[in-house]
Structure 1
Amino acid sequence: MTDAAFTAQDSLVALMITVSASDATIRTSELLTIQAIVNHLPIFAAFDQDRLEGIAQTVFDLLEEEDGLDAIFGLVRAALPATHYETAYALACDVAAADGNVFQAELELLREIRYEFDIDPLHAAAIERGSRARHMKL
């Protein structure tokens, strides 16, 4: 998959995979969350799920490079309208919270996403709280 071929939906998936891979362990709960998000949210209605593997490989390849995270942010910015940056952040938060624990590497990546996409701190807090509430365990 070439960088120029990323759609808006591809960029959202790439960001979710990046969050999942951020702590060097891709957990089943995170993969299931990504799959559920892709299967059920209206923003993915026209998404071709056959693209998942290629997107994941692109993310993994980029994360091995020195400035790979910056490249991923660039891909997201190029493909996703700024009006959907909060959506991207919400999906990233849901993946981070999927296993019931948000690890330091995930927290740092979420902070970087907030910065890169200029997410208002109050909006970020509300998004984070919603993700936490959705992923609480009894």
Structure 2
Amino acid sequence: MPTSAHEGLIHIMVIAASSDNTMTQSEWRRVEGLVGRMPVFEGFDPSRLTDVANACVEKVNGAPGLDGAINDALAAIPVKLQDTAYALAVELTALDLHLSQEELRFLEMLRDRIEVDRLTTAAIETAARARYRRMPG
């Protein structure tokens, strides 16, 4: 299990970014950027980011598997930050403007396990779509 809420949030981001079986450079840069600028990560040493991400990948690929990794990450995240965890997951999956079936399934799995109401998760999803929308044409 991640030992801190910071690590749990990072695990959720890594799982979200790799839910389509690959993590792109763009997704990794987004993880680094979010950890570097979001107030929720104050106090986290960014030099540990790669180690925390690697620990998450090992967990997903190991005995606990995806379900265990998600459960462990959420166990480390206080209930009051579960909406933040969901927002971070949506941020990573929406980055390429296309949600694969695997990414949609991961978000569904996460929604089913967090203590956040459907209206809030829908608002988070709508806000992400609005942020990444491009001009038509």
Q: TM-score, normalised by structure 2?
A: 0.90
Structure 2 counterpart of 1:71: 68
In 2, the alpha carbon distance for the partners of 1:132 and 1:28 equals 21
Alignment of 1:1-138 (within 5 A): 3=1, 6-65=3-62, 67-138=64-135
The runs of 5 or more residues in structure 1 that have no matched partner are: none
Structure 1 CA distance, aligned partners of 2:134 and 2:22?
21
Q: Which moved more, 1:128-137 or 1:91-100?
A: 128-137
Output one character per residue of 1:28-60: Cα deviation in whole Å (capped at 9) or x when no partner: 221121111111110111111122111111121
Alpha-carbon separation, structure 2, partners of 1:49 and 1:40: 11
Aligned length: 135
1:66: Cα distance to partner?
Answer: 5.4
Taking the aligned partners of 2:58 and 2:117, their CA distance within structure 1 comes to 30
Task: Determine helix, strand or coil for the equivalent of 1:54.
Answer: helix
Q: Distance in 1 between matches of 2:73 and 2:63?
A: 18
32 and 137 in structure 1: CA distance in 2 versus 1, 3 angstrom threshold? farther
What TM-score, normalized by structure 1, do the two folds share?
A: 0.89
Residue type of the partner of 1:34? V
Q: CA deviation digits over 1:8-34, x for unaligned, max 9? A: 111101100001111111122211211
CA distance in 2, matches of 1:129, 1:72: 26
Give yes or no for contact 1:6–1:75 (8 Å, CA) kept in 2: no
Unaligned runs of 5+ in 2: none
- For residues 124 and 106 of structure 2, what CA distance do their matches in structure 1 show? 15
* Percent identical residues: 33
Q: Which amino acid aligns with 2:131?
A: R
